[in-house]
Structure 1
Amino acid sequence: MNWFITPLGVGGAHRVTVPGCRKVLVIVPSLVAGARLLDLLPLLDSDFRVQTYFTLPEQDEATARFAREVGGLVIPWEMAAQHEFDLVLTASYRFIDRAPGPVLVLPHGAGALKSRPRVRAAGQAARAVHGLDRQLLMRDGRVPASVIALSHDQELDVLAESCPEALPAAVVAGDICLDRMRASLPFREQYRRALGVEAGDALVTISSTWTAESTFYQRPELYRELARHARVAAVLHPNIWAAHGEWQVRSWLADCDVIVVPPEEGWRAAMIASDVVVGDHGSTTQYAAAVGARVLLATCPDVRPGSLAHALSEAVPLYTGDLADAVTVPEFAHLISSRLDRSGAILRAAMYRLLGIPEPAHAAPISPVRHGR
């Protein structure tokens, strides 16, 4: 990247066509965090007062390709740190203490609270955590985030107990990912056609989070078994792709007659298009239940009591060979979000408050999701 050709570089002011913009920095530490922020960025669309930059604190092929395909103006992390931005967007608490501007942090999954009771890498002896823990939110005795977006009022109660210093930054904003999925429900038939599902065919989506507790590792036979009875789509957590590589993922599934949904986009359309979703404790299965899909669990480890994964495991049976056992989970959307269909308006108001300029006159857009193929 040539630093000198960006608006921030030496002499950059003489190169720009739209000068005087407020500067927004999007921090992309991982593919999953970057993909979540793409739900947020359309709230800035059509505003000539705003220039958006992307930065990758840790270079890896998955995030670099993501940034290229998005078409964002990518600047080096070292360059970003030398400038002050009017708004910094992130979906991770990593690097938040070094963010060069007021930060809005968004959850990168369903809800701000974790499903797993402990940090995976720390082992079973580790202290229990829930995702809004004091040590995560605070750095050097302060809360670096200006806005902590929460999905549900119950998360506000957890925050008040675990880290009351963070309460002034907390905004219960609902879940913009879920809102977009709900807005996409009328397009179910279009998504099915885009996936190549013929009229009258059943579509089963196998949803997998990452790690060895996931569907992908625990029940690999499902990808072949279910394909004998229906069209099958495979939705894999972006961390699987990032850790093992696209070639390896496709190699593992080479003899399975499945539609492999790319990690960047398409999983939401697949959930909406599905007749049945067979998943695990990950967020994608929770979102499927929230939009009314019939759901079965392929596997479920020990999860944190009171978590969304726990609520799902209490309501959904394990898959034992009969797709007819799949169930819907009424009102699951209300467990994820306390502000259904209002997330865009709440988040845009928070973003423009940090930017220090009035919101655009038009309503905050909540667009249907793309099918990704």
Structure 2
Amino acid sequence: MLVNGEMWIRGPIGTGAEARVTLAGCRTALVIVPTLTAGTRLLDIVPLLESDHRVQVVFTVPHTTDQWPGVEEFVRARHGLLMPWAQAVHHTFDLVLAASHRHLEQIRGPVLLVGHGAGTMKSYLYSRKAETPALPATGLDRELLTYRGRILPSALALATEEEREALGSLCPEALPVAVVAGDICLDRMIDGGRFREHYRRALGVKPRRRLVTISSTWSTDSVFGRVPGLCKAILDALPATRYSVAAVLHPNVWTVHGRRQVTAWLSDCVEAGLRLIPPDHGWQATMVASDWVIGDHGSTTAYAAAIGCPVTMAAEPGDRLRPGSIADLVREAAPTLEAGPLPAQEEAAIRRRERLSAVIGAAISSRPGQAAGILRSAMYRLLGLPEPECPPMVPPLPVPLPVEE
């Protein structure tokens, strides 16, 4: 069937599905992937239920007039069963997993909404889309969580108790569906510490060498936006006999500019030894493998700080940061990159890392090590199924696969 220009799939749900399936009676869970950022976060969560024979997981990429490129390719590369958006909005699901507020009002079924970065609340004081003076944006605002008077998520996963308190002021009607779950991405990165040497070998970091990673979010305020030559400068300044250098760029850098263009911009660095990490191939493991991160106000830098990696700030958006946000805390506690010898600045970051890790770790999660269990319980409650007796199984972080020359 062709609807709105999309060919519907003959999948495990919908009219006639009972004649097509091999495993009958499954509850259906829909994973909404509007952006690559949301997709990578949801892939932290999907393994908590997809091995259950009672559950069928399907993916969909919203088709609108404003679509991020490359998202369908991302889902297909992970071999998820991809359902056209026009078909998804005509079906009622037993569970909907989302890491973005976008399009939730169009989908039918109980929604579990999680954040897609460090913390549920935004680090920018105002929305990036605000072209005129606007009210501060938090990520927990009523206009994001409600539609025509109804609460969109059936379960709203928060990272900290502070976020629950903020929700009580910003959208108190959503408090009954809120659950403080912690941060599954941080939990996976901390657990990944046991594979640190494996990740370093995958990155080609030789023994006794130190790995320096440049971490950039997106936008003109980011490291890559403000200092596009930083990777080359770091490569030139550090002796290759003692240091290896990697770069992790926000998924939106890749999706907006295109993989070919980003790779071309950094081709001289890659030729000089830079480990350029694609957005879907191991940024978390790269942070675990790092000895020093030079970053900005993005979530990746915050996660590095939280797991105990020394951090130095190379860019930040000034008064555009929300006071008290995670990015603001990183800015306050981490040293700033300056002109001068890098080894001395690395030592300064090392001296501050213990305090930085404690502050940022607490700001990212109030339930350290517990996110998988809390989120799985919430999903099975919405599915209306008894939770498996075995502990939740979370796979190790993907091994980093740098872009080749």
Q: TM-score range by the shorter chain?
A: over 0.9
Contact 2:50 2:56 in 1 (8 A): no
Of 20, 29, 35 in structure 2, the residue corresponding to residue 30 of structure 1 is: 35
**AA partner of residue 287 (structure 2):** M
Asked if residue 244 in structure 1 is aligned to residue 257 in structure 2, the reply is yes
Give percent identity, aligned residues only.
50
Q: Match of 1:173?
A: 181
Q: Match of 2:11?
A: 6
1:58-93 Cα deviation digits (max 9, x unpaired): 355410111111101101111111111000000000
Aligned-pair distance for 1:10?
3.8
1: CA distance, partners of 2:80 / 2:395: 20
Of 312, 321, 324 in structure 2, the residue corresponding to residue 306 of structure 1 is: 324
Of 362, 365, 388 in structure 2, the residue corresponding to residue 337 of structure 1 is: 365
SS at match of 1:231: strand
Asked if residue 324 in structure 1 is aligned to residue 347 in structure 2, the reply is yes
Aligned residue pairs, count: 373
SS at match of 1:330: helix
2: CA distance, partners of 1:271 / 1:362: 30
Contact 1:35 1:265 in 2 (8 A): no
Contact 2:312 2:335 in 1 (8 A): yes
Aligned-pair distance for 1:5?
2.4
Contact 1:27 1:55 in 2 (8 A): yes
Of 324, 342, 362 in structure 1, the residue corresponding to residue 390 of structure 2 is: 362
Q: Match of 1:43?
A: 48
Of 363, 371, 376 in structure 2, the residue corresponding to residue 348 of structure 1 is: 376
Asked if residue 203 in structure 1 is aligned to residue 211 in structure 2, the reply is yes
Contact 1:110 1:283 in 2 (8 A): yes
2: CA distance, partners of 1:191 / 1:203: 11
**AA partner of residue 335 (structure 1):** A
1: CA distance, partners of 2:296 / 2:9: 47
1: CA distance, partners of 2:369 / 2:61: 31
Aligned-pair distance for 1:133?
1.0
The root-mean-square deviation of aligned C-alpha atoms, in Å, is: 1.3
Q: Match of 2:292?
A: 276
What is the TM-score of this pair, normalised by structure 1? 0.97
Contact 1:104 1:148 in 2 (8 A): yes
Aligned-pair distance for 1:221?
2.0
2: CA distance, partners of 1:60 / 1:116: 21
**AA partner of residue 247 (structure 2):** A
Aligned-pair distance for 1:2?
5.3
Q: Match of 1:143?
A: 151
Of 134, 155, 162 in structure 2, the residue corresponding to residue 154 of structure 1 is: 162
1:74-118 Cα deviation digits (max 9, x unpaired): 011111111110000000000111121000001000010110000
CA distance 1:77–1:218, shift in 2 (3 Å): same
2: CA distance, partners of 1:123 / 1:337: 32
SS at match of 1:121: coil
| Structure 1: gaps (5+ residues) | none
Aligned-pair distance for 1:135?
1.3
1:6-38 Cα deviation digits (max 9, x unpaired): 122443321211011000000000110011000
| Structure 2: gaps (5+ residues) | 1-5
Asked if residue 100 in structure 1 is aligned to residue 108 in structure 2, the reply is yes
Contact 1:4 1:12 in 2 (8 A): no
SS at match of 1:305: coil
2: CA distance, partners of 1:56 / 1:372: 25
